[in-house]
Amino acid sequence: MVLDLASVGRANGPHTLEWTERDTLLYAVSVGAGQDPLAELALTTENSEGLAQQVLPSFGVVVGQQVLRPDIGDFDRSKLVHAEQHFELHRPLTASGALAVTARVGAIYDKGSGALVWTETTSVDAATGEPVMTARSASFIRGEGGFGGERGPAAAWDAPARQPDVEVAMPVRPEQALLYRLNGDRNPLHSDPAFAARGGFDRPILHGMCTFGFTCRALVAAAGGDPARLTAMGGRFSAPVWPGDTLTVQVWQDNEDVLFRTLRGDGTVVIDHGRARLAEPGGAAGAGTLAAHAGSARR
C-alpha cells in the first residue's frame, strides 16, 4: 500500500452542498444537545416561542466533509484516525442553506510510524460566492510513514498554570456514535466491532468529530450560549472516546486567545492543543472574552 505523494495540491470541487433545518437539528442532538430537554432549545428546536433556531459552528465542518478528499493513494482505512481539526467562520451559519465547497490536499508529512495528511476545504455561499468557512483537517495513517519526507511543523501549546476559567462536563450517551453517523460519516470504525478490532480497538469508538462537536457546545456555553460568537476553533485528537463516557472541557482565557482541552472520564486528554476565538457579543469589533470566569457547569 503506497500513498501518492504527488497528490499534494490536488483538488476536488467545487461541489454545491445543501442542508435543511432538519440537518442542523439532527447535528445538534448527535453531539449531545437536548439531554436536558429545556436547555439549548435554540439548537434543538425550530419553533420554540421567542427563539430563533441557531446552528453550532462545527456543523460547517460536517458539510465540508461531504466533499471527498482527492485520491491520495492506496491504504488500509482501518489504520486511519482523525488527528486534528480546525475551522474559521467568516459569518454565522444559517439553519438551512447551500455552500460551494472545494477540498484540496494541503500536505503529507512523514511521522515515521505513519503519515500525516492535511486536507483543506474552502466553503463559499453557493448563491453569492461570499466566503463562509475555511477548514483544515489532518488524518494520521499508521504504517504509511518512513518515506523520507518532512515531519512538518510543531506548534507550541501549554495549558495555563491555574485552574480553568470555565469547566463544562457533558455525558456521552451509549448510542451517541449511532446518532452521529446519521450526519453522513458511516465509517464502520464507529459502529462495527469487527472493523474496530482490526484498527486495534476492543469496541467501536466515538467519532472524533462528535467529540469535537461536544467541545464546540462547551465553548458556546463558555461564550454565554451564543453560537455566533465562536468564530474559530481547532485542536488535536490525542486519545479515543467511547460512547457512554463523560467529557469535560476545560477553558482558559489567555489574553485575546481562548485555550481549551477536552478530557474523558478517566482524566485522559482526548482533545489537546485547543485554541478558539470569540467575537464580542452582538458582533461588536474586537476579540471577545469568556462570559464567566471560574465557572463550572454540567450539560
Active site includes 86?
Answer: no
Partners of residue 68 on adjacent β-strands: none
- Annotated catalytic residue within 82, 190, 207, 273: 190
* Lateral strand order in the sheet of 246-254: 11-19, 97-110, 114-125, 131-142, 80-89, 230-237, 269-278, 257-263, 246-254, 166-171, 295-298
CB atoms within 10 A of CB 134: 18
- Annotated catalytic residue within 185, 207, 226, 245: 185
DSSP annotation of 165: S
Residue 172's nearest CA partner among 274, 298, 59, 284 is 298
Which residue type does 81 have? V
Residue 121's nearest CA partner among 76, 86, 83 is 86
Active site includes 15?
Answer: no
> C-alpha grid cell for residue 181?
453517523
Helix (H) or strand (E) holding 44: helix 41-44
The catalytic residue positions are 185, 190
